[in-house]
Structure 1
Amino acid sequence: MIVTLNAYNVVAARCAAEYLEMTEDVEKGNLIYKIEVFLNSSVLRSWKDSIIVLQATKSLLPWSEELKVAGRCVDCIASKTSVDPTNINWSYTYNRKLAASDEIVEIQQRMHTVPNDWWVEDICELDVDLYKRVMVAVKSKGRMSSDMIGEALKAYAVRWLPDSYDALVADDYMKRNRTLVETIVSLLPPDKCSGCSCRFLLKLLKVVILVGAGDTLKEELINRISMQFHKASVKDLLIPAKSGGDTIYDVHLVQILVGKFMVHVSSSHDINFVDKSESRFVEINTEDKTLLPLGKLVDGYLAEIASDPNLSISSFVDLIKSIPDAARPGHDGLYMAIDIYLKEHPNLSKAEKKRICGLMDVKKLSAEASIHAAQNELLPLRVVVQVLFFERLKASTGVSAPTSDAPRDASMSRATLEEDWEGRASEHHNSLKQQLGSLKIKGDKCRNSDEMKCRSTKEKSSGLLLPSRSRRIFDKLWVGKGQGETIKSSETSGSSQSPPICVKPGEAKSSVMGTVAMA
Structure 2
Amino acid sequence: MKFMKLGSKPDTFQADGKCIRYVISDLATDVTIIVGEVKFHLHKFPLMSKSNRLQKLVLKASEENSDEIDVVDFPGGPKAFEICAKFCYGMTVTLNAYNVVAARCAAEYLEMTEDVDRGNLIFKIEVFINSSILLSWKDSIIVLQTTKSLLPWSENLKIVGRCIDSIASKTSVDPANVTWSYTYNRKLSAPEIIVKGGMKYQEKIESVPKDWWVEDICELEIFLYKRVMTAVKSKGRMDGAIIGEALKTYAVRWLPDSVDALISDVHSWRNKLLVETIVCLLPSDKGVSCSCSFLLKLLKVAILVGVDDSAREDLMNRISLKLDEASVKDLLIPARSPQTTIYDVGMVHSIVNQCMINEKCSKDLDLGKNDVGCTDFVLGHGSLLSVGKVIDGYLKEIARDPNLSLASFIDLARSIPEFGRPVHDGLYKAIDMYLKYICRSI
Q: Shared topology, TM-score over 0.5? A: yes
Distance 1:74 1:28 in 2: 30
Distance 1:230 1:332, change over 3 A: same
Cα offset for 1:117?
0.5
1:109 positional shift: 6.9
Amino acid at match of 1:45: L
Matches within 5 A, 1:373-412: none
1:5 counterpart residue number:
95
Shift of 1:331: 2.3
Distance 1:188 1:236 in 2: 19
User: Are 2:401 and 1:308 aligned?
Assistant: yes
**Residue 80 in structure 1 maps to residue 170 in structure 2:** yes
Aligned residue for 2:377, secondary structure, equals: coil
Query: Which of 315, 319, 336 pairs up with 2:429?
Result: 336
1:112 Cα deviation from its structure 2 partner: 4.9
What is the match of residue 48 of structure 1?
138
Distance 1:24 1:327 in 2: 75
Q: 1 or 2, which has the higher strand percentage?
A: 2
Q: Distance in 2 between matches of 1:192 and 1:232?
A: 16
Q: Which residue of 1 aligns with 2:289?
A: 195
* Alpha-carbon offset, residue 306 of structure 1: 0.6
Deviation at 1:143, TM superposition (A): 0.6
How has the CA–CA distance of structure 1 residues 112 and 233 changed in structure 2, closer, same or farther, with 3 Å as cutoff? closer
Residue 127 (structure 2) aligned to one of 29, 37, 59:
37
Aligned to 2:377: 285
**Residue 240 of structure 2: which of 124, 128, 146 is its match?**
146
What amino acid is the match of 1:286? V
Instruction: Tell me the distance in 2 between the aligned counterparts of 1:193 and 1:15.
Output: 42
> How far apart are the structure 2 equivalents of 1:284 and 1:322?
21
Task: Output the CA distance in 2 between the equivalents of 1:112 and 1:266.
Answer: 42
2:268 maps to 1:174:
yes
User: Where does 1:428-507 land on structure 2 (aligned, <5 Å)?
Assistant: none
The 2-side partners of 1:25 and 1:338 are apart by 85
Give matches, 1:60-99, under 5 Å: 60-97=150-187
Asked if 2 retains the 8 angstrom alpha-carbon contact of 1:266 and 1:284, the reply is no
Please give the alpha-carbon distance, in whole angstroms, between the structure 2 residues aligned to 1:48 and 1:214.
35
Is 1:238–2:332 an aligned residue pair?
A: yes
Q: C-alpha separation between the residues in 1 aligned to 2:267 and 2:376?
A: 46
Give the match's secondary structure for 1:5: strand
Match of 1:59 in 2: 149
Distance 1:208 1:214 in 2: 9
**Partners of 1:269 and 1:284 within 8 A in 2:** no
The structure-2 alpha-carbon separation of the partners of 1:67 and 1:54, relative to structure 1 and needing over 3 Å to count, comes to same
Tell me by how many angstroms 1:192 deviates. 1.2
Contact map agreement 2:182 2:212 (CA 8 A) in 1: yes
Question: Partner letter of residue 256 of structure 1?
Answer: S
1:298 is aligned with what amino acid? I
Task: Determine the C-alpha separation between the residues in 2 that align with 1:244 and 1:133.
Answer: 38
Matched with 1:156 is 250
Aligned to 2:113: 23
Distance, in Å, in 2 between the alignment partners of 1:336 and 1:225 is 26
Q: Which runs of 4+ in 1 moved over 3 A?
A: 108-112, 282-286
> 8 Å contact 2:272–2:302 — kept in the other structure?
yes
Percent identity over paired residues: 66
Structure 1: which 5+ residue stretches go unaligned? 100-107, 272-281, 350-519
Contact 2:176 2:205 in 1 (8 A): no
**Paired residues of 1:11 and 1:57 also in contact (CA < 8 A):** yes
For residue 203 of structure 1, report the CA deviation from its aligned partner: 1.5
Shift of 1:79: 0.7
> How many correspondences in the alignment?
332
CA apart distance, 1:194: 1.7
Check 1:200–1:110 CA distance in 2 against 1; reply closer, same or farther (3 A cut).
Answer: farther
Q: Determine the C-alpha separation between the residues in 2 that align with 1:122 and 1:323.
A: 44
What is the match of residue 124 of structure 1?
Answer: 218
Is contact 2:175–2:205 with CA below 8 Å preserved after alignment?
no
Looking at structure 1, the residues matched to 110 and 441 of structure 2 have their Cα atoms a distance apart, in angstroms, of 82
Tell me by how many angstroms 1:163 deviates. Answer: 2.4
The CA deviation string for residues 315-366 of structure 1, in whole angstroms up to 9 with x for no partner, is 11111111012222322222221222122111689xxxxxxxxxxxxxxxxx
| Distance apart, 1:285 and its partner CA | 3.5
How far did residue 87 of structure 1 move? 0.9
- Helix, strand or coil at the partner of 1:124: helix
Q: CA RMSD in A?
A: 2.2
**Structure 2, unpaired ranges of 5+:** 1-10, 12-91, 190-201, 366-373
Q: Alpha-carbon deviations, 1:223-268, whole Å to 9, x = none? A: 1111111111111111111123110100000110111111111221
User: Is the alpha carbon distance of 1:218 and 1:112 closer, same or farther for their aligned partners in structure 2, counting shifts above 3 Å?
Assistant: closer
Aligned partner of 2:45 in structure 1 is none
1 CA distance for matches of 2:418 and 2:206?
A: 52
1:270 counterpart = 2:360: no
Q: CA shift at 1:189, angstroms?
A: 1.0
Question: Cα distance, 1:98 vs. partner?
Answer: 5.5
Map 1:213-228 → 2, pairs under 5 A: 213-228=307-322
2:361, 2:93 → 1: CA distance?
67
Q: Does 1:325 align with 2:415?
A: no
Cα separation, partners in 2 of 1:119 and 1:165, compared to 1, 3 Å:
same
Question: Cα deviations across residues 379-423 of structure 1 (Å, max 9, x unaligned)?
Answer: xxxxxxxxxxxxxxxxxxxxxxxxxxxxxxxxxxxxxxxxxxxxx
Larger radius of gyration: 1
Which residue number corresponds to residue 487 of structure 1?
none
